[in-house]
Amino acid sequence: MNSISLASGVVPEFGPVETIKAAAFGGFDAVGLWIEPPLWTPAVLRDARLALADSGLELLDVEVIWIKPDSDLADHQRCVDIGAQLGAKNVLCVSADPDMAATAAKLNALCRHAEPSGMRVALEFGVFTEVKTIGAATAVLNAVDHPLAALLIDPIHVDRSGGTAQEIAAVPRAWLPYAQFCDASANRPDPNDFDAVIIDAIDLRLQCGDGVLPLAAMLAALPHAIPLSIELRSKALREGFPDASERSAAVAKATRAWLARSLPTG
């Protein structure tokens, strides 16, 4: 069965130590952390490292680097550096820069900065970004042309951008160190309605198997046993499970049950 990681977006109102403890309580194999460099004082970094060590969890990813036309590369590099100090395997990036050549150049610079740690620099596409489709992301990564560059697949963004499992299957395997997973309803927001797109992404995601996305086909299109970051941003979950650990446990239980039903046997 795929290893699963608690994405920071599942518990957005909690800090890094609480997120790590929740992931451990829930029985996740790994965890993801939200990094806002100005808030990561030496004390915060120290406490997060201690919590990770105590938990025994892998740090699957840190997020998020927003590439913008006026981005300060030093700020993005700081996010990479914090991730490296924590032992993160991947750093998640999205682009708000409409210049695809500039996006590729910035991603290449981040990949080169990440070389000492070997951290993968994963580009996430979606209609809420300037890299809106899997095809656009593929073009950017071809331009980046660096072995640390990666593509992050998230089923809700594949679906909302009109993507398919067949397109996922065509992605070079070396670009896919991990993926995000969740389910969603059939009610696709208007891609031109930014507010509706964001609400769909941060409030309306569903537990795996509770929606209509072709998750089994998407999982089959990814590399075998790929680690899954369970990116289940959900207002219903936040309200139904105000305790971070209980929320984590509910998500882990539902995810493992869905995986058990969906993976081939024999």
* Domains of the chain, CATH where assigned: 4-262 (3.20.20.150)
Whether the CB-CB separation of 92 and 33 falls below 8 Å is answered with: no
Answer whether residue 149 shows pLDDT above 80: yes
- Residue 141: which pLDDT band, with cuts at 50, 70 and 90? very high
Answer whether residue 199 shows pLDDT above 90: yes
Whether the CB-CB separation of 229 and 7 falls below 8 Å is answered with: yes
Torsions phi, psi for 92 (to 5 deg): -90, 135
Tell me the percentage of the chain whose pLDDT exceeds 70: 99
- Degrees to nearest 5, angle at CA 167 with 9 and 206: 30
Could you read off the pLDDT of 21-51 as tens digits, one per residue? 999 999 999 999 999 999 999 999 999 999 9
Strand order in the sheet with 90-95: 149-152, 120-124, 90-95, 58-67, 30-34, 4-6, 228-230, 179-181
Mean pLDDT, the chain, rounded, equals: 97
Provide mean pLDDT across the span 141-146: 98
Answer whether residue 266 shows pLDDT above 60: no
CB atoms within 10 A of CB 190: 10
- At residue 60, the pLDDT reads 98
- Number of residues in the chain: 266
- At residue 214, the pLDDT reads 97
Whether the CB-CB separation of 24 and 249 falls below 8 Å is answered with: no
Could you read off the pLDDT of 118-131 as tens digits, one per residue? 999 999 999 999 99
Provide mean pLDDT across the span 91-109: 97
- At residue 263, the pLDDT reads 80
Answer whether residue 265 shows pLDDT above 80: no
Answer whether residue 249 shows pLDDT above 90: yes
Task: Name every residue whose Cβ is closer than 8 Å to that of residue 220 and which is 6 or more positions away in sequence.
Answer: 165
Tell me the torsion sign for CA atoms 223, 224, 226, 228.
positive
pTM for this predicted structure: 0.96
Answer whether residue 229 shows pLDDT above 70: yes
